[in-house]
Amino acid sequence: MEVTIALAQYPITYHNSLADWKNHTEKWISDACSQGAQILTFPEYGSMELTSLFSEAIQSDLKLQIVHLQELLPFFLETFQEFARKYSCVIVAPSFPVALEDRTVNRCFVFTEMRHSYQDKHFMTRFEDESWGISSSDGALRVFETSFGKFGIQICFDIEFPIGGHLLAEAGTEFILVPSCTETLKGATRVHIGARARAMEQQIYTGVAQTIGEALWSPAVDINYGYTAFYSSPDGEFNDEGILSKAEAQQAGWLIQTLNLTENQAIRENGQVLNYKHSQRLEIRDGNIHIEKVNLKEQILASFYLKNDLI
């Protein structure tokens, strides 16, 4: 089985209206799908470009931005649901700071033609925690079951910790997508090292999508440095360094790669080393993180705002 995935190397863009943002978003989605992409992955906090629609006073206030972004969340969801249906693809939308009753979380929504679910970020960076007021998830790691295979999401800093990759692989995921937003080469390097380590440990594919460029009007995502890349275990017929493909840093566009899921399974069973098999011996005791499977294959008609137990 093969799946073609597109990773966005995405500039935070200033927009003059919601219609302008929607047209911009569709151009990106149309471009990836015209190249055969089945799963599209946008980066962490790409949604912050929506704050360009606010007054300068709101743009410059980290906390006030989040309050006003909630007014745009329904349109954001409707837009990506519409495009997932129109282009018959799976979209991992740019993560969005979602205000819940008791906290604000960094949430990646995942859309198929008929429904959507989400993954929240678990580990917070110091900026998110100390300056911005973004809080950790409820601990659920979701396995997204789609017509194109099972995958998990580790948002940026999350991929730098082995526990998420271990639990996702143990639950049957075939690849891990990593939406990310970093300011410097050092930050980007940490994320990519984490993605390469998870690919090696679990003998699984990983793919990193990142923001790029400057958006000096936004104190949250003003400086961005990043590049996209796909990684595998450095074994068998794969690249000797485990780098399937890598884009030039700071250049806008999609990196598109077809992954052979059967080939990767063969590595897990008959590779030179059996990292994945040996990792199953590990016993993880952590009351704050658990697996929740999300089946997105069944095309069940439901109202737009779905509860998790309906997905």
In tens, the pLDDT along 57-78 reads 999 999 999 999 999 999 999 9
Which residues are 257's β-sheet partners?
Answer: 5
- Alpha carbon separation from 203 to 127, 220, 271, 298 (Å, rounded): 32, 35, 9, 28
What pLDDT is stored for residue 293 in this prediction?
Answer: 73
Query: Does residue 221 register a pLDDT over 70?
Result: yes
The residue that leads in pLDDT, 278 or 59, is 59
Which structural domain, as residue segments, surrounds residue 25? 2-310
The 10 Å CB-count burial string (b at 16+, else e) for 98-136 is beeeeebbbbbbbbbebbbbbbbbbbbbeebeeebebbb
Query: Does residue 282 register a pLDDT over 90?
Result: no
Model confidence pLDDT, tens digit, residues 6-44: 999 999 999 999 999 999 999 999 999 999 999 999 999
In the 3-class helix/strand/coil scheme, how is 122-183 assigned residue by residue?
CCCCHHHHHHHCCECCCCEEEEEEECCEEEEECCHHHHHCHHHHHHHHHCCCCEEEEEECCC
Q: Distance between CA atoms of 281 and 213, rounded to whole angstroms?
A: 43
Structural domain count, the chain: 1
* Angle at alpha carbon of residue 292, lines to 288 and 295, rounded to 5°: 165
CATH number at residue 76: 3.60.110.10
pLDDT band at 45 (very low <50, low <70, confident <90, very high): very high
Mean pLDDT to the nearest integer, 246-267:
94
The residue that leads in pLDDT, 92 or 311, is 92
Query: Does residue 250 register a pLDDT over 90?
Result: yes
Tell me phi and psi for residue 83, to 5 degrees.
Answer: -75, -30
Burial class (CB within 10 angstroms; exposed 0-12, middle 13-18, buried 19+) of 292:
middle
